[in-house]
Structure 1
């Protein structure tokens, strides 16, 4: 019996729902989302990070299991295969906020956050005359990693000083499915539905626009990739009356590692700048600017 089977049997025998399990873990000081527990049960992911292994130990106590009953079934870290090579976790990209993100994601069923990946993506960020974000327009090509994929998740996090979570709309050939936002955490999670069901390896075009609710001037724009991306363009268009003094390209392998400035960027006569990244590893790529 592997880890997923052992965990499923133990939870079923306890008579507790995943929500109650999460609640009891929280009372023990362990923060884990219901969606993460569900992924562990189904074998879609497994605990490997130190924080996750502490949750497994707490589960053994909570479910009345012997010490090591679950942890001994984890074995060595799972080998990296065709689709999981170099893949990052939500914790790598969102740090402690991953728990909040997981709880918002759990409000949408049929989640398949690792079933598709970007081949190419272009983001266009617009900054208004008051130095605040206006909108982000994203287009790209998504490839299915397994049969039956008909959607992907768009995730946006509001800045701490924003007036609330942003809104989102999809353009053809996509349409919006379920959308969940949480003002308390700042997360917006939306299903972007393809125009057909994909088989593994097939591609779909995506097009969506996120409209911000800024409460203060903006100083950064970034994209967080859980998987490698073949071609990424980030364009930042400033209003002619609000052009920053300097712009920099930056990268960050994960939130556990420091940000590295790569290049100072030229702001053209149209008050626009951009970065173009090829064959990028998972991580955070973005543009940061200084107003004065």
Structure 2
């Protein structure tokens, strides 16, 4: 996907330039483009970072129709540039999707970085698992899978796998929270390999 990678590079360059030189509405528009989200999702993302701003305000700000006066405005731009999507690869035959997450800082050995991301499957295809792969050990990892209230699985399990070719092990049933329509796992120390959640529809 050279086009997607080129587009991501252009957006990143525009964001870096806008954050350095402004003006604010250009920087905000570049940050929103780098995230690739509609304004409602941007508002939700910002609220999780403690930044309260309305969708109408975001729209006015990115158009340059109004200039925010509070320091919260610049916090909004910084919060938006925290973690963005790099390269995306899809394997249509198997339904596998791999996405690269780019952080705003370079990590050295021993550094930590706390981040959260969401994957929404809009394909309407049957989905039976979510797997996270790591090529080196890491810190704590939490994985939560949420389901639509009209389509709850009958069983959920966690599993680990040393490599893509290795058999799955560490299989353990996970309780489904009916109230939150979700299931989760926590790995205190992420090992190299794969960890995931699989579910049965019945």
Give the TM-score of the pair, scaled to structure 1.
Answer: 0.37
Match of 1:285 among 190, 195, 200: 195
Unaligned runs of 5+ in 2: 10-44, 46-78
Mapped to 2, the partners of 1:221 and 1:182 lie a distance apart of 16
More strand by share: 1
**TM-score, scaled relative to structure 2:** 0.50
Q: CA deviation at 1:193?
A: 3.4
Q: Please give the alpha-carbon distance, in whole angstroms, between the structure 1 residues aligned to 2:133 and 2:97.
A: 14
2:82 maps to 1:174: yes
CA distance, structure 2, for counterparts of residue 232 and residue 209 of structure 1? 14
How big is each residue's C-alpha offset from its partner over 1:9-60, in whole Å with a ceiling of 9 and x where there is no partner?
xxxxxxxxxxxxxxxxxxxxxxxxxxxxxxxxxxxxxxxxxxxxxxxxxxxx
Identify if the C-alpha distance between structure 1 residues 190 and 240 changes in structure 2 by more than 3 Å, giving closer, same or farther.
same
* 1:213 Cα deviation after fit: 3.7
> CA 1:268 to 1:281, structure 2 compared with 1: closer, same or farther past 3 Å?
same
For residues 125 and 150 of structure 2, the distance between their equivalents in structure 1, rounded to whole angstroms, comes to 16
Point out the structure with max Rg over C-alpha: 1
Instruction: Give the SS at the match of 1:268.
Output: coil
The verdict on how the C-alpha distance between 1:281 and 1:193 changes in structure 2, with shifts beyond 3 A counting, is closer
Cα 1:248/1:205, change in 2 over 3 Å: closer
User: Within 5 A, what are the aligned runs for 1:133-148?
Assistant: none
Cα distance 1:216–1:228, how it changes in 2: closer, same or farther (>3 A)? Answer: same
Select the structure that is richer in helix.
Answer: 2
Check whether the contact 2:159–2:197 (CA below 8 A) recurs between aligned residues: yes
CA RMSD of superposed structures (Å): 3.7
Name the CA shift for 1:208/1:192 in 2 (closer, same or farther; >3 Å).
farther
- Whether 2:184 is the aligned partner of 1:243: answer no
How much does 1:237 deviate? 1.2
For 2:174 and 2:188, the matched residues in 1 are separated by: 17
Displacement of 1:190 in angstroms is 4.0
Give the C-alpha shift of residue 229 in structure 1: 2.2
Unaligned runs of 5+ in 1: 1-100, 110-136, 138-170
